Amino acid sequence: MSSNDNYIFELPIKVRDYEVDSEGIVNNANYLHYLEHTRHEFCHQAGFSFREMHSQGIDPVLRKVEIEYLTPLGLGEEMISKLNLERQGARFIFQQDIYKPDGTPVVKASVICVCIENGKLSRGDVLAQRFEKYLNQ
């Protein structure tokens, strides 16, 4: 997993009480939620929400997620979820990192999505056109 300091999107998030386990730290599965929420907010900000995609028969789906847990977060802590996007053939690769406000890395992840169009696997060309300005950065 590589990271890049030139992120194309950032989202501040605060840990909620139901996201921590009995030890008072964020349960590992919740980081997947944070990463997904960040991707959804990015798509919305970029002008192509998941609702709009689905209404056009386009459904990005996860193919693979690699996540490295570095520093735990606790109740009430704030984080900044950041992402970059690249395309390799039919795959859209989100490099997603979460940091504490002081810059301490919390999570580093690589999320690979593919596109289902009208029920069939596609190359994702429609999605690539919609996100062209972000893919070329």
**Active site residue ranges:** 21
**Number of Cβ atoms within 10 Å of the Cβ of 128:** 15
Q: Which residues fall within 8 angstroms of residue 17, CB to CB, at 6 or more apart?
A: 75
Q: Cα–Cα distances in Å, from 33 out to 40, 76, 79, 81? A: 10, 16, 13, 11
* CA gyration radius, the chain: 15
Q: Which residues fall within 8 angstroms of residue 16, CB to CB, at 6 or more apart?
A: none
Q: Which residues fall within 8 angstroms of residue 80, CB to CB, at 6 or more apart?
A: 10, 11, 12, 13, 98, 99, 100, 101
